[in-house]
Amino acid sequence: MKTLLTAAALFLTSLLPTARAEETPRFRAVVIAEKDGNHGPLVTAALEWLKVTAEKEHFAFDVFEEPKGFNKEFLAKYQVFIQLNYPPYRWSDEAKAAFQDYIENGRGGWVGLHHATLLGEFDGYPMWQWFSDFMGGIRFKSYIAKRASGTVEVEAGDHPCFKGLPKTFTIDEEEWYTYDKNPRPNVQILAKVDEASYKPDSEIKMGDHPVVWSNPKMKARNVYILMGHHPTLIQNENYTALLRNSILWAAGQK
C-alpha cells in the first residue's frame, strides 16, 4: 500500500510543473482601445475576440482607453503594445517619450491598427512628427467615408504575419485611408490593396496603396494594419488570422 501511495504521489507531483506552465502567460500585452462613437462596435468585437485568442494562445492583456500614466516603468511590464483604436495625438509628453523608447530600443513589440495613422493636426493637437516618421514619413490625407470592400494582395507571403493566409483576400466595409505620400520608400511593405477592386468604386485612391507594413529601422518588431474600422472584420477569418499572427510575432512568439 505504501509503495502504491508513494507512486501516486510522485505521479501527481510530476503533473504540477505542467499545470503551472499553463497558468503562466507566455507574455503580457497592453491594449489601448478607445471606445469612440465610430469605432466602439469594432473595439467591443475585437476585445471579445482577443479574450478568446489570449486564452487559446496563453497570453494576458490589460486594456486602457487612453495612454494616461504610460511611462517607461509602466511599459516595462509588457512584451507587446497593441494600438487597437487610438490616434497618434492626445498623448502626454511622458507617454510619447516612453513609447518612443519602447519602439526604438526594442523593449517590446507593437501592433497598430487603422487609427494609428491618423497623422496630422486634429482636435487642436499638432502632428507627432516622430510617429509620422515611424509610419514612413506620411500624413493622413483622405478616406472612403461610405466604406468599400477591397482585395488585399500579399507582397511578403513568407513573413510570419501572413502564415497560413492566401495571397489575396477580401476586406469588407473599410475606409481605406490615403496619405500625402507613399510610405513604401521608408518601410517594408507587406501587403497592399487593389484599388481597382473597390466595391463600390471610389475616386479616393493612391495608385500604389500599401495597407500592411513594418518599419525595420526600429529595434522593436512592429506591424501596422490599415484595416480596422468595422466590426465585421472580426468575422473575417483571414483578418483575424493576420491579427493573431501579428500579435504573436510582435511578442517574439513566432
Question: What dotted CATH number matches 28-250?
Answer: 3.40.50.880
- Peptide bond before residue 200 is cis, with ω within 30 degrees of 0: yes
Measure the CA–CA gap between 152 and 156, rounded to whole angstroms.
Answer: 12
CA quadruple 163, 230, 176, 95: dihedral, nearest 10: -80
Predicted TM-score (pTM) of this structure: 0.90
Domain locations in the chain as residue ranges: 28-250
> For the residues of 112-140, what is the DSSP string, one character each?
EEGGGG--S-BTTBPP-HHHHHHTTS--E
Strand order in the sheet with 109-113: 60-64, 28-33, 80-85, 109-113, 222-225, 210-214, 188-199, 148-154, 168-174
Q: For the chain, what is the radius of gyration of the CA atoms?
A: 20
What are the pLDDT digits (tens) for 47-62? 999 999 999 999 999 9
Q: Residue 27: its pLDDT value, please?
A: 98
Measure the CA–CA gap between 194 and 227, rounded to whole angstroms.
Answer: 14
Query: What is the pLDDT tens value at each position of the chain, 254 positions in all?
Result: 444 434 444 333 334 343 334 579 999 999 999 988 778 899 999 999 999 999 999 999 999 999 999 999 999 999 999 999 999 999 999 999 999 999 999 999 999 999 999 999 999 999 999 999 999 999 999 999 999 999 999 999 999 999 999 999 999 999 999 999 999 999 999 999 999 999 999 999 999 999 999 999 999 999 999 999 999 999 999 999 999 999 999 999 97
Neighbours of 221 (CB within 10 A): 22
Measure the CA–CA gap between 233 and 135, rounded to whole angstroms.
Answer: 23
Q: Residue 22: its pLDDT value, please?
A: 53
